[in-house]
Structure 1
Amino acid sequence: MTGDTIKNRDDLIAYLDAAMALEHATIPPYLTAYYSIDSTTNSDAAHIIRVVAVEEMLHLTLAANVLNAVGGQPDLTREGFVPRYPARLPDGEDDFFVDLRSFSPAAIDTFCQIERPGKAPAAGSRLVRTDPGKTMLAASPTVDGMHFFSIGEFYAEIIAGLERLAKADPGLFRGDPARQVGPEYFYSGGGTIKPVHDLDTARDALQFIADQGEGSDSGLYDADGELAHYYRFRQLQLGHYYQPGDHSERPSGPPLSVDWDTVFQVKTSARLADYPPDSELRAVAEAFNADYGRFLALLTRAFNGEPPLLQEAVWHMFRLRDGFNRLMRNPLPGSGGLNAAPTFEVPVFEAVTA
């Protein structure tokens, strides 16, 4: 299939909404692993995870720019935008679960699965049947019961659909340019935000997301010469940094030391129901969820005509550290000696948009 599941502008908007939810869905797992690391250890690992989390914000913003360019309206506060963890992602013919867990070999294995290169054997096998009754990220929002072979194939479908619709509809890119977020509102070490106003800029934005590590078959480095996310995480598994010219399985750079034991061991994918009712710890978990909801409301406003708020939202994301620490440094009763962790069961916040 080459964009066949995107037949009109409404289909395209549904796909771009799904792309934003997909990009966001990686942020809670990355932040959970990041904040579970004791601040006195694992500085290399913490830096890798932090940079990837910030770049996921870049991907989220690029997807919002494309959605705005075709006249959609980003809404990160809508019910269901934040998945219930463990969430499911495609892994070829099968799928895997993304948990909220401590920094560990299992967490890095999952991160590599999220970011892995993955190309369907043929265009006709880009879509795979989804198990009935299960929610799949990177599912087709227009073909019931089907999901994509990989995240890379999901984006390939959007790009192909964009190309087909733009050819048939010269007015496809009808969005208000004032809603575009430009590079002046965001800084990331890998890549920059670019406004979207036509097919070329939309295609470039989506291809950049794929090439930076979301499952495309683009090699170790993206078009800007930055190491793709998949290979950044592979460094943690292989114990060395990559250098230009390295084989994908034999990084030859400086050693990368990891201490898997100096980590706050938290309950995996904790839920509010795991917290004792009326306890102080439950109140902290609920306060964290509300604070995360405010973060999503800030992003929604930033993507709907108030782009300067993006900088405040990124700052807010890392201000969540206090909530992470108040949970992760305390035992969770009844969990077999594990500590508490955020649940990301986010209340619905109305974002006041421009």
Structure 2
Amino acid sequence: MYSYSIRTLDELKEFLYQAMRLEHATIPPYLTALYSIKPGVNQDATQVLRVIVVEEMLHLTIAANILNAIGGTPDLTRPDFAVDYPASLPDGETDFKVGIQAFGREALATFLKIERPAQRPIHLVGKGLIHRKTSPHTTALGNDPRHEDLHFYSIGEFYSTIAEGIKYLEAEAHRVGTTIFTGDRSRQITSEYYYSGGGELFAVTDLKSALEATELIIEQGEGDGGGIYDDNEHELAHYYRFDELVKGRYYQKGDQPGHPTGPQLQVDWEGAYPIKANLKVVDIDIKKDPELREAATAFNTRYGEFLQLLTRAYNGQPTLLLEAVPIMFEFRNMILELIRNPLTNHPGKNGCPTYEIPGSTKQAAVTRQAEVRA
């Protein structure tokens, strides 16, 4: 179906690293939208976002399991791991960008694009990978000259290519009496270390479990085979949970995609703090808002420590993952400290987390520029 195929183990490892970047890239936008909602309103939206954030963490961990299974090394501390918002997704989609913004219609429109089903619009059916209209350097996959035309339509297409690559490479290895699944099994994370209501976390040790893992991610995001539910838990896929909020109506059994017929639900589109979208630390006036700038910097440091914790968990210390979800929701207080306070030099706008991770490639460049200006 697609015009790109993974043909080497190194390529597969790189794709799985990008899969981890992809899953992580969705967490800051979802987390910020969740905590931007004012108290006492949008309870349905709050529940949807909270569940999806936890499931994105599940997907991140599944991608790490697959990478570990084939002898790779999950590393969330690499300088290029965290994207700089607004950003194209690390799976190669370039027709939209994902940013940090408050809950609202614009945010939901972006979230629907992130989770969109693999069924393409008619004008793109059968055309394989879409050629870039922007610089190939807008995403990490484009940094490799071999991938300069790599552009998937959806996350589902991206993971389908990974699944095909796994099948091809394992078949080639089997032909000569070996396997690609040579990783240390003690690094596998299972449900005892991470609970998610939407899917079991299991060890990846062979072809069958690897394909089940990629399928779980696809189904939770966009649904099973064009339907609105995933196959394992028969829960509504992410795309359709967001679609419920946009349409103001619940899906129920028997509904077709795009046509929910269940009870109405209420969404207060003004029920979020007016945060400054895609704020950077350097945008916060150090003289007029010193405490806000300090809070933004402290959040970034803590978030960097969170990524370090996950890296250790994925590299032989799985019990550390038990701390990850509590820390993620501990971010609530730090985020609220930012989004509830106005920015002096941006009238009508409040602060927000910037997710500029210390040690990242982009953050190093920003720091150098700030030092030059000073």
Band of TM-score, shorter chain = over 0.9
Distance 1:218 1:92 in 2: 22
For the residue of structure 1 that corresponds to 2:192, the secondary structure is: helix
Change in Cα spacing, 1:271 to 1:324, as seen in structure 2 (3 Å) is same
Look up the match of 1:352.
none
Q: Does 1:95 align with 2:95?
A: yes
Distance 1:166 1:160 in 2: 10
Look up the match of 1:154.
158
For the residue of structure 2 that corresponds to 1:314, the secondary structure is: helix
Look up the match of 2:318.
307
Cα drift, residue 4 of structure 1 = 4.5
Choose the corresponding residue for 1:244, options 253, 258, 267: 253
Q: Residue type of the partner of 1:20? A: M
Change in Cα spacing, 1:272 to 1:90, as seen in structure 2 (3 Å) is closer
For the residue of structure 2 that corresponds to 1:213, the secondary structure is: helix
* Residue-by-residue CA offset, 1:170-198 (whole Å, 9 max, x unaligned): 32000000000011111111101010001
Cα drift, residue 139 of structure 1 = 5.5
Larger strand percent: 1
Contact 1:153 1:216 in 2 (8 A): no
Contact 2:275 2:339 in 1 (8 A): yes
**What aligned pairs does 1:1-354 form with structure 2 within 5 A after superposition?**
4-89=4-89, 95-119=95-119, 121=124, 125-129=128-132, 131-132=134-135, 134-136=137-139, 142-169=146-173, 170-213=178-221, 217-224=225-232, 225-277=234-286, 279-348=290-359
Greater Cα offset, 208-217 or 270-279: 208-217
Distance 1:256 1:234 in 2: 12
Contact 1:284 1:326 in 2 (8 A): yes
Distance 2:251 2:140 in 1: 30
Distance 2:336 2:244 in 1: 27
Cα drift, residue 336 of structure 1 = 2.6
Distance 1:138 1:43 in 2: 37
Distance 1:93 1:35 in 2: 27
Look up the match of 2:365.
none
Distance 1:300 1:122 in 2: 38
Distance 2:171 2:2 in 1: 14
Cα drift, residue 140 of structure 1 = 8.5
Distance 1:123 1:140 in 2: 26
Distance 2:77 2:299 in 1: 16
Gaps of 5+ in 2: 361-374
TM-score normalised according to structure 2 size: 0.88
Larger helix percent: 2
Cα drift, residue 118 of structure 1 = 2.4
Aligned-residue sequence identity (percent) comes to 48
For the residue of structure 1 that corresponds to 2:298, the secondary structure is: helix
Contact 2:224 2:231 in 1 (8 A): no
Contact 1:130 1:136 in 2 (8 A): no
Gaps of 5+ in 1: 350-354
Q: Residue type of the partner of 1:117? A: P
Greater Cα offset, 234-243 or 216-225: 216-225
Change in Cα spacing, 1:54 to 1:182, as seen in structure 2 (3 Å) is same
TM-score normalised according to structure 1 size: 0.93
Q: Residue type of the partner of 2:273? A: F
Cα drift, residue 6 of structure 1 = 1.6
Q: Residue type of the partner of 2:226? A: S
For the residue of structure 2 that corresponds to 1:163, the secondary structure is: helix
- CA RMSD of superposed structures (Å): 2.2
Distance 1:307 1:212 in 2: 23
Contact 1:34 1:49 in 2 (8 A): yes
Cα drift, residue 272 of structure 1 = 1.0
Distance 1:69 1:241 in 2: 39
Q: Residue type of the partner of 2:240? A: Y
Distance 1:343 1:93 in 2: 22
For the residue of structure 1 that corresponds to 2:95, the secondary structure is: strand
Q: Residue type of the partner of 2:268? A: D
Q: Residue type of the partner of 2:157? A: E
